Amino acid sequence: MNSFDTLDLIEPLRRAVAQAGYESPTPIQAKAIPPLLEGRDVLGCAQTGTGKTAAFLLPILQRLASSPTQGKPKIRALVLTPTRELAAQIGDNFKEYAKFLPLRHRVIFGGVKQGAQVADLRRGIDVLVATPGRLLDLQGQGFIHLNNVEFFVLDEADRMLDMGFIHDIRRVLRLLPTERQNLLFSATMPEPIVQLASGFLSEPVRVEVDRQSTTVEAIEQRVMFVAKADKKRLLQALLKGDDSIESAIVFTRTKHGANRVVKELAKGGIEAAAIHGNKSQGARTRALAGFKEGRIRVLVATDIASRGIDVDGVSHVFNYDLPNISESYVHRIGRTGRAGRAGIAIAFCEPSESPYLRDIQRLIGRELDVVDDHPWHEPSAIPAVIPHRSERPPAKEGGRSRRSRRRPRGPRRRPN
């Protein structure tokens, strides 16, 4: 599908996406928009960076515009998201796509005073974008009524479950009208997501974007084996010595670790900002704005805080700490190489993280390219057994990286 004109979108939406610089729909948009316009429930398997927000917002906006309400708007569409940043990003997308439509929306989340949110709710809105906690809080106070909801979107469903929101989701579902159109989007489809979806989706159309084509194949993935104490030196050396690193997101496992990385980079004269759950909403918003505008070159994030980072043009992703959940690796590297563009993901692997690397390589079905021509190369971190692959791509010859096939002989260092 080559053009948005072929998706049967109304003129105000076509004009909005054209002004936003969209030339043609992404695969998830081409697959999801037609059934959504027909009123079908949709189960979408797509990660961040594939264009899934437009895939569900555009048809919802079109259907809302086709049957406007009389008088004060009521909440007719609810988008439930796991994090504040993701909710804010969806709100920004709404402004962009609905700029030529007489529709109103509001984003609500915790961590800020509720006064402004309540004031907008009282004036009336058509679309509500919310995180579960604040939604249920304001509903319990009588400020939110969901009895007019016609469209319900559960976004980033796998992250919702990871963050413990399953009971809140079920509470929200009980507040919604029986007759409504449902959409569920998730980057992965583990059994709990399948069970959840079967509980409220009615004969859904399943649309899926192959994860390997959007992440594994579109992104150059490297691993650098390094002792834990040398990670900070390696990161500084790469950021200072490689001009191709225009903007980078560095992932750490903990909030404290993110703060520590920012301080270490500052000592080396590299400006960076941290974004995690202990940061105030104002600090997180300022950090993200500075990163988007190019004033901050490096953003250091934890997994949960990263869910709302929807920034085009991120040249590199660094896994400073390898995640112990393999699927998190896919989410992380999806921040670069967005919508099919090239990107580079570099993982730092210390000896104690070797099992995580094995799990990641098993999940994505390939080995990461090993870069060993750096001063802190640590052979003892290389996994002893590499997962079997049915199709093994050839090793790079004469380049900076190679495929790891076995542990080099030599002294074994105890994990840190």
Residues 7-21 have pLDDT tens digits of 889 999 999 988 877
pTM of the predicted protein model: 0.62
Q: Is residue 409 assigned to a domain? A: no
CA 5 to each of CA 11, 262, 338: distance values in angstroms, whole numbers, following the listed order: 9, 46, 23
Q: Is residue 297 assigned to a domain? A: yes
Q: Is residue 413 assigned to a domain? A: no
* Mean pLDDT, all residues of the chain: 85
**pLDDT tens-place string over residues 134-171:** 999 999 999 999 999 999 999 989 888 888 899 999 99
Q: Residue 416's pLDDT is what?
A: 36
Q: Where are the beta strands (DSSP E) in 84-150?
A: 105-108, 127-130
- One domain for residues 22 and 120: yes
Q: Is residue 408 assigned to a domain? A: no
Domain boundary among 209, 227, 259: 209
The enclosing domain of 170 has a CATH number of 3.40.50.300
CB of 78 closer than 8 Å to CB of 126: no
The DSSP bridge partners found for residue 221 are 345
CB of 86 closer than 8 Å to CB of 156: yes
Q: Which secondary structure element, helix H or strand E, spans residue 91, and what is its range?
A: helix 84-97
Q: Is residue 185 assigned to a domain? A: yes
| For residues 396-413, average pLDDT | 37
- One domain for residues 233 and 195: no
Q: Is residue 412 assigned to a domain? A: no
Token couple for 94: 């709404």
CA 342 to each of CA 51, 209, 338, 339, 393: distance values in angstroms, whole numbers, following the listed order: 16, 17, 8, 9, 19
Domain boundary among 209, 242, 259: 209
**pLDDT tens-place string over residues 76-87:** 999 999 888 788
- One domain for residues 93 and 49: yes
- One domain for residues 177 and 251: no
CA 406 to each of CA 31, 74, 223, 382, 403: distance values in angstroms, whole numbers, following the listed order: 42, 62, 15, 8, 9
- One domain for residues 236 and 359: yes
Please return the burial class of 350, using the count of CB atoms within 10 Å of its CB with bins 0-12, 13-18 and 19+: buried
Domain boundary among 209, 244, 274: 209
Sheet holding 316-319, edge to edge: 272-275, 298-301, 248-251, 316-319, 343-349, 219-225, 369-371, 401-403
- One domain for residues 170 and 244: no
Instruction: Please give the DSSP secondary-structure letter assigned to residue 248.
Output: E
Give the Cα separation of 218 and 379 in Å (integer). 28
| For residues 368-380, average pLDDT | 94
- One domain for residues 322 and 398: yes
pLDDT greater than 80 at residue 404: no
Work out the pLDDT band at 191, boundaries 50, 70, 90: confident
Q: Is residue 411 assigned to a domain? A: no
Given CA atoms 327, 328, 332, 333 in this order, what sign does their dihedral have?
negative
- One domain for residues 146 and 240: no
The most confident of 67-76, 220-229, 279-288, 336-345, by mean pLDDT:
220-229
- Please report where in the chains the tokens 């301080």 appear, as a residue: 263
Q: Residue 174's pLDDT is what?
A: 96
Q: Residue 267's pLDDT is what?
A: 93
- One domain for residues 198 and 255: no
Containing structural domain, residue 366:
213-403
Work out the pLDDT band at 409, boundaries 50, 70, 90: very low
**Number of domains comprising the chain:** 2
- One domain for residues 305 and 348: yes
Give the Cα separation of 173 and 168 in Å (integer). 9
Please return the burial class of 357, using the count of CB atoms within 10 Å of its CB with bins 0-12, 13-18 and 19+: buried
Q: Is residue 267 assigned to a domain? A: yes
Higher pLDDT, 415 or 117: 117
Q: How many helices (H) and strands (E) does the chain have?
A: 16, 15
CB of 209 closer than 8 Å to CB of 27: yes
Sheet holding 77-80, edge to edge: 105-108, 127-130, 77-80, 151-154, 181-186, 42-45, 205-208
Three-state SS at 190: coil
- One domain for residues 261 and 374: yes
- One domain for residues 187 and 57: yes
